[in-house]
A and B are shown apart, each in its own frame.
Chain A
Amino acid sequence: MSDNSNTHDYDFDPTGEQSLLIDRALGEIEPDSDGWREPDEFELAAAEAAVLYAQAQSAPMPEALRGKLTAAAQGVWNRSADSRPVAGSINPESQARRAREAGELKMPPLPSSGNAPTGSSAVLSAAGWLAAAAAIAIATVGWMRPTEPTNDGEVVVATQSVEERLASLESAPDTVSGDWIAWPAGTLAPDIDPREGALDVKGKFVWNEPRQEGYMVFENMPVNDPKLEQYQLWLVSADHEHPIDGGVFNIASSGRVIVPIDAKIRASNLAALGVTIEKPGGVVVSDRTDRMVAGLVPQG
């Protein structure tokens, strides 16, 4: 880069508004809103400069990462019923009906594409899950007979081999585990008296970050009709803005069910897990409105 010491600086100071926009464009201040914002000219100028710098010092993306991205892209499409990577929605009447019929579980909001959290809000989002999870006493889980596999190819339920893998993972180094908790629809978890509000949906999760392998174990999870709705697992990572898609699954019968966690991208520093009910095929980003169970991941 040449020495331009003779170049004249602009001899004026930016206005207050310009200073704010520039500071935001350079990441010195957080945006006013967590939602999408249209870029201003300073942010675009910074982006253009970034492209230029990157072009001059580009490095090839590792092939392994390319493969992960390709797999994640496949996951996006495989779980988007309308084949578009947009947030799904659930008919409010359908939600109300399900809530009435099942009286079941409600989750704190997951970010949607139209209101994606950034920065601290993402942490707060995860913290909301954690707070909700921590607010409820953990019930001891009794084991029940495994259910039979469903036939949609996406769900693996308790077979001997899965049981063995679960047991093996539980004894592996770096494995964390915890119990599922559940709370009624329409009730904020911190308001729940676990002695009165605890639902009979129980279970546990097991997760090993180095191996990126994990399982969920459910008991008494309501059976779903795959033609109308499916369960979808989410992993809340402290390192990611959005909860990570952990796969879609069905519950064919109540009882003990083991579901492998199928993180679409590498999940690190896991903070919590959650389950939503979504349209068949799942969604890319949950609209956060339906029931859930959540597990609290112990932090080392």
Chain B
Amino acid sequence: MFGVTTTTEKPPSDCLLPLIASGDRKAVQACIDRYGGLVWSLARKFTRTESDAEDATQDIFLDVWKSASRFNPDVASETTFVAMIARRRLIDRRRRESRRPQREAMFEDTVSDDQPDLDPSELSDEAQFAARELENLSTDQQRVLRLSIFHGLTHEGISEATGMPLGTVKTHARRGLIKLRDLLASRQATSAGGSGGNPGKVRFFPGSEVLS
């Protein structure tokens, strides 16, 4: 389990990206330590070989460092920001990879559709709460979103892997993500309202905020 900021409230002073943007060398190493597991886990799922995952991880961190000044804690948590950049880079790589001949997969668990991803016993209390929000989605929506968001499959790839018609995959993906957004937002709005938080700012996970 990597140490990420989704599970605990992090005041801005704990954020590393502003420090990196201001030239703090130690923050760069701390960034690797804090988010290395997250980035590596995502890269490993999205890519076909360990070498590709390493390349992707390096690309992602370079982009994170270069984009550090763009991080806004009022919009998203630092963890979400890093994950967002990681997904962008991984999706870009997937596009490039799709234009090249496919290489043999080395990661046996690259796509394990029937393998449960979320084991509550492995999650913190806050993450378990968020995981329950995901479980409010239908089974098919969960399946499609997991294959898309975590395994990096395209809708077409999900259709091939699951046998669902492509249109059904798109419908599950779209409705599922809307529902997930709304569930997380409403939960956080309730939480923020109960604690006197700003109702105009919706927090997904502790330490993470998005504007509603």
Contacts and interface: CB of A to CB of B under 8 A. Distances in A.
Interface string B50-61: 111011011101
Contacts, number: 271
A57 B118 CA distance: 8
Contacts of A27: 87, 91, 94-95, 148, 152, 154
A252 B85 CA distance: 41
A120 B32 contact: no
Contacts of A242: 59, 62-63
Contacts of B65: 73, 76, 85, 284
Nearest to A3: B139
A13 to B, nearest CB: 8
Contacts of B61: 69, 72-73
A9 B2 contact: no
A48 interface: yes
A54 B62 contact: no
Contacts of A285: 66
A73 to B, nearest CB: 4
Contacts of A65: 36, 40, 54, 57-58
Given A4-B136, A30-B95, A77-B25, A42 B41 contact: no
B189 interface: no
Contacts of A113: 66-67
A98 interface: no
Contacts of B63: 116, 241-242
A68 B67 CA distance: 20
A112 to B, nearest CB: 9
Contacts of B148: 26-27
Nearest to B144: A26
A44 interface: yes
A50 B42 contact: yes
Q: Report the contact-size class of chain A (Cβ under 8 Å from the partner).
A: 35 or more
A26 B152 CA distance: 8
A7 B136 contact: yes
A174 B119 CA distance: 45
Nearest to A284: B66
A125 to B, nearest CB: 12
B10 interface: no
Interface in A181-223: none
Contacts of A84: 21-23
A9 B67 contact: no
A25 interface: yes
Given A61-B40, A118-B92, 9 more contacts: A4-B139, A45-B180, A47-B87, A52-B131, A53-B146, A55-B122, A73-B28, A86-B69, A239-B93
9 contacts: A7-B137, A18-B178, A42-B177, A45-B181, A47-B76, A47-B81, A50-B42, A52-B123, A56-B127
Interface of B: 1-2, 4, 6-7, 20-23, 25, 28-29, 32, 36-42, 44-45, 50-52, 54-55, 57-59, 61-63, 65-70, 75-76, 79-81, 83-84, 86-89, 91-96, 99, 116-119, 122-123, 127, 130-131, 134-139, 141-142, 145-146, 148-150, 152, 154-155, 171, 173-175, 177-181, 184-185, 204-205, 208, 210-212
